[in-house]
Amino acid sequence: MSFSDLLNNYIELLGCSAKELASASGISAAAVSRYRAGERTPDPDSKQLRMLAEGIAKLSEGEFSEQHVHNELAVAINGIAVDYDTYLANVRALLAALSANNNELARALNFDPSYISRILAGQRRPADLQAFTLGVSQFAARRSTLNGTSEALRALIGESWSNAHSEEERSLVIATWLETNYAPPHNPIGSFLERLDAFNLDDFVRAIKFDEMRVPTAPIQLPTTRTYNGIHEMMNCELDFLKAVVLSKSSADVIMYSDMPLEEMAADVEFPKKWMYGMAMLLKKGLRLRMIHDTSRPLSEMMLGLEGWIPMYMTGQIEPYYFDNAQNGVFCHILKVAGTVAMQGEAIAGYHGEGRYVLTKNRDEVRYYRKRAERMLKRARPLMHIITAANAEAFTAFQSDDVQLEGRRRVIMSTPPIGCIPESLLDRVLERHDLGEEQRSAIRAFAQQQGDVLHKLLANGGVHFELPNVPREEFEEHPAALELSGIFFEDTIPYTYEEYTEHLQELERWVEESKGNTLAIDGSLPFRNVQISICRNKHVLVSKATGPAIHFVIEHPAMVTAFERFVAPVRE
């Protein structure tokens, strides 16, 4: 039914005139008349449609709710009850739960992968939204038979998913959820970035009194071998393992792997605190940790696990890995090995309360599990390359390789790239700060080097920049600063509002003069301390400017795809 037909039906049911509806809704009688004739249609996200729904609900004297009327009118306009941004967020969350990439969806819908990428990035809109929804829901229903996927969809969609059994029923449930879900789905990438943006290692060190920690030397009183049963005892086993490692005399690397469920452990109030303290003690002891992350989990659960590792990542003592082959979905395993102690256990997926875990200090057993862990490590791939000031040359090497890659970049920044700052403007910014000549020279050289990088990227596939439109009042409260993470410059060098505006205008000029490059300046500051560069289907560079400066080069396919779909949150 068309919008005009539905509106006329409501007027007939209410027994009112167009003039009475106009008065009740606060919309002009002329506009209501054009809506009824089909000459005009309000935007589904508009204030006018909300006012119209409010007027109809008011005249119905409780027979129709405003939300029900609005949903019906919105569906009549564009086929979905929610606004388009919410609908798009639902689609992204669905694909993340399915661990599906853009190419798989494109093949299923017979679309070009780049077209799907632009739709999911909010740069294009499907010509036929209802047909697109049907295609996505049918694709999701077919894919839901994969191991672990159905559970992820149940967590996302809710009880209605549990009551759908056939592929046709599941497709209908998914389509309905896409079109009507108003609650914003959890954004795992956004949550990870927000945590990273806000994290400050110095504050963390003070909060846990890391500098005051003293690594104890008294041996832990544990039997040579001990068995633990169930999830709660598994948590005790983890803590006992950490204690044993800290108190041992060994300085061997620690290798860790677990594909056990995280949510129940994360829900325990005390365990995360104790676990974090134990991990801090390992780092205080100077041990290097090689962590094999389980990336076969749904994206939301995987990113939840990575969030917990942010404090450890920031130390530069962590090497994260993953397996690129999917697990069998039947058994869950845990294996953690240090120099003189090992922890291992397993459970049947879905029956973790019946799992059994063993902590051992027996030399032969530890030697066996150590060899097993090392063999696992050889089968693993780096989850991300972490670049800190300790291996600063790795950032230069990465950029040298990166500019050679063909492909369009998407760059999300909280401040303009230093590579396009005019020399005279940079000098004025630096003159206002108490810097030595050596520091100024290093910043000038970095700006020139980044200018060369930017020129190559602009010419080699193009760049789409996304920057915030910061009002003066907000800027005065949270001024943007020069982006100096590439030289691991720890001091903040903020702009004045005029300097920031001038630099932004220079970036606009660069983009206008170079073909194939675009710039979107919209919304408020999504992040104040993080920059993101996405090379489609290849890698993501996440750079944090301070607290401390650090770079993450991510190549894991599912994470790269999730970043490609990521829409930066807007602070109102």
Q: Name the token pair of 527.
A: 């992040």
Q: If you write DSSP's letter for every residue of 185-242 in order, what string do you get?
A: PP-HHHHHHHHHHH--HHHHHHHTTGGG-----SPP---SEEEEEHHHHHHHHHHHHH
pLDDT at position 255 over 90? yes
CB–CB of 163/67 below 8 Å?
no
Q: How large is the average pLDDT for residues 432-448? A: 92
Percent of residues, the chain, with pLDDT higher than 70: 92
All residues at 6 or more sequence positions from 215 whose CB lies less than 8 Å from its CB, including other chains: 246, 281, 284, 285
**Total Cβ atoms within 10 A of residue 29:** 14
Question: Quick one: average pLDDT of 18-26?
Answer: 88
pLDDT confidence of residue 242: 93
Asked whether residue 432 carries a pLDDT value surpassing 70, the answer given is: yes
447: pLDDT strictly greater than 60: yes
Q: Does the pTM of the predicted model rise above 0.85?
A: no
Please tell me the number of Cα atoms within 13 Å of 340 on its side-chain side: 13
Mean pLDDT of 466-484: 88
> In this predicted structure, which of 55-59, 249-253, 291-295, 457-461 has the lowest mean pLDDT?
457-461
| Local confidence band at 137 (pLDDT 50, 70, 90 cut-offs) | very high
| Beta carbons within 10 angstroms of residue 555's beta carbon | 15
CB 481 within 8 A of CB 492: yes
Q: Which of 84, 57, 87, 86 is nearest to 69 (CA)?
A: 57
Task: State mean pLDDT over 452-460.
Answer: 86
In 462-529, DSSP assigns E strands to: 463-467, 518-521
- pLDDT at residue 74 tops 90: no
pLDDT at 219: 53
pLDDT on residue 263? 65
Tell me 331's DSSP state. Answer: E
What count of other Cβ atoms lies within 10 Å of the Cβ of residue 298?
21
Mean pLDDT of the chain: 85
Task: Please write the tens of the pLDDT for every residue from 370-413.
Answer: 999 999 999 999 999 999 998 999 999 999 999 988 888 899 99
The total number of residues written for the chain in this structure: 572
The pLDDT assigned to 572 comes to 46
pLDDT of residue 365: 95
Domains (range + CATH), the chain: 3-78 (1.10.260), 85-180 (1.10.260), 190-382 (3.30.870.10), 389-565 (3.30.870)
Res. 240: pLDDT tops 60: yes
Spatial contact of 392 and 484, defined as CB atoms under 8 Å apart? no
Lay out the sheet containing 384-387: strands in order across: 384-387, 550-554, 539-544, 530-535, 409-412, 463-467, 518-521
Q: Flag the least confident range among 103-107, 214-218, 474-478.
A: 214-218
Q: Taking 50 as the threshold, does the pLDDT of residue 324 lie above it?
A: yes
